[in-house]
């Protein structure tokens, strides 16, 4: 049996065809699941009971359990427990343009980025498609809101769970499903080049964000193990191919770490690295944690870095700070729960 929230509309169509039912049944079921938000198949009043019994033989409805929730200014953080007892997080951020949910894609992470809390707890397994979809449904149900934007930037590396992530995107983008616009969905990767190449051939209007965090190999090797496999020059080369093929802008995420990557020299190197690309830099103030030695750059250093990029004609923003009081760093709530 399979959690029905892991099925695309096309897969549901195929199920009904194989059971000699009209394909419109799949749209009816999707409406019950995603528009009317049923919790039990028996609530589907326009579907005959025999068919409901057949559906129950193949599929079930299941959500994770919320075991901890923290609230701050314009932010809500959730710790979910999955069927096997593993735990993941999701963070809701309220913006003036809508509600954005940062979704986890794995239990733990093997990328081992030195500054990242979630990487301290190694990858246990990939999340299934339904385990990602139900993060959104559950948060919407609890808060009685509509999530308009989704960011795959929680625990895990999305491109290390590629097939399930693509299936997840298809479901939440489906008009009969959650109907979240493609340009309101962002996939963040630390730079797995083969998957970026695969992704560029998907012909989707999904946003691509790259966790860069350094302007050269020396600093990036210290911060991100992945750079030793796919160094910066190779990453930039494939991103230029991506931009040319998709005509889509790339976001470079850059966490500013005191005394590590926040100097004017680093800003100038970063400018030289990406100048001329259809891209922008998202500067991120660091969420400090008690387990990792890195410190947040001062506000003065952040502004100087920003001003240097601006003077070099680089498109740049500073991400609004969310939720230090709710342990908003990826994996921080989970680690604190499991180690406390």
**What is the set of active-site residues?**
89, 330
DSSP codes of every residue in 73-88: TTEEEEEEE-TTS-EE
- CB crowding 104-114: b at 16 or more within 10 Å, else e: bbbbbbebebb
Q: Is 78 left (phi over 0), alpha (psi -120 to 50) or beta?
A: beta
Task: Show the tokens assigned to 175.
Answer: 């008009």
C-alpha 62/C-alpha 184 separation (Å) is 26
Kind of pairing, strands 149-152 and 185-189?
parallel
Taking each continuous run of H as one helix and of E as one strand, the counts in the chain are: 11, 14
Instruction: Quote the CA–CA distance of 238 and 200 in Å, as a whole number.
Output: 10
The answer to whether 139 and 92 have CB atoms below 8 angstroms apart is yes
């Amino acid at each position: 049996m399979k959690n029905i929230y892991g099925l695309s509309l096309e897969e549901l169509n195929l199920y009904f065809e194989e059971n000699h039912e009209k394909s419109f049944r799949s749209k009816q079921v999707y409406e019950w699941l995603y528009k009317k938000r049923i919790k039990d198949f028996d609530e589907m009043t326009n579907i005959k009971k025999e068919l409901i019994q057949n559906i129950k033989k193949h599929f079930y409805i299941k959500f994770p359990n919320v075991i901890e929730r923290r609230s701050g200014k314009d932010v809500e953080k959730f710790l979910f427990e999955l069927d096997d007892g593993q735990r993941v997080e999701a963070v809701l951020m309220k913006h003036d343009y809508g509600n954005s949910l940062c979704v986890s894609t794995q239990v733990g992470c093997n990328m081992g980025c030195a500054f990242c809390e979630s990487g301290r707890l190694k990858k246990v397994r990939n999340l299934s498609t339904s385990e990602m979809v139900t993060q959104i449904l559950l948060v919407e149900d609890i808060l009685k809101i509509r999530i308009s934007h989704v960011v795959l930037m929680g625990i895990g590396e999305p491109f290390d769970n590629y097939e399930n992530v693509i299936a997840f995107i298809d479901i939440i983008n489906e008009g009969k499903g959650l109907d979240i616009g493609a340009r309101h969905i962002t996939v963040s990767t630390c730079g797995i080049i083969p998957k970026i190449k695969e992704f560029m051939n998907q012909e989707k209007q999904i946003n691509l964000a790259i966790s860069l965090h350094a302007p050269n190999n020396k600093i990036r090797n210290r911060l991100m193990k992945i750079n030793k496999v796919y160094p910066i020059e190779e990453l930039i080369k494939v991103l230029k191919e991506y931009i040319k093929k998709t005509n889509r802008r790339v976001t470079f995420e850059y966490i500013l770490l005191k005394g590590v990557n926040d100097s004017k020299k680093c800003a100038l190197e970063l400018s030289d690295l990406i100048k001329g690309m259809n891209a922008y830099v998202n500067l991120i103030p660091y969420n400090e944690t008690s387990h990792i030695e890195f410190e947040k750059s001062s506000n003065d250093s952040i502004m100087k870095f920003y001003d240097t990029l601006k003077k070099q004609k680089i498109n740049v923003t500073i991400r609004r700070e969310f939720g230090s009081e709710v342990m908003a760093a990826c994996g921080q709530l989970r680690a604190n729960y499991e180690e406390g």
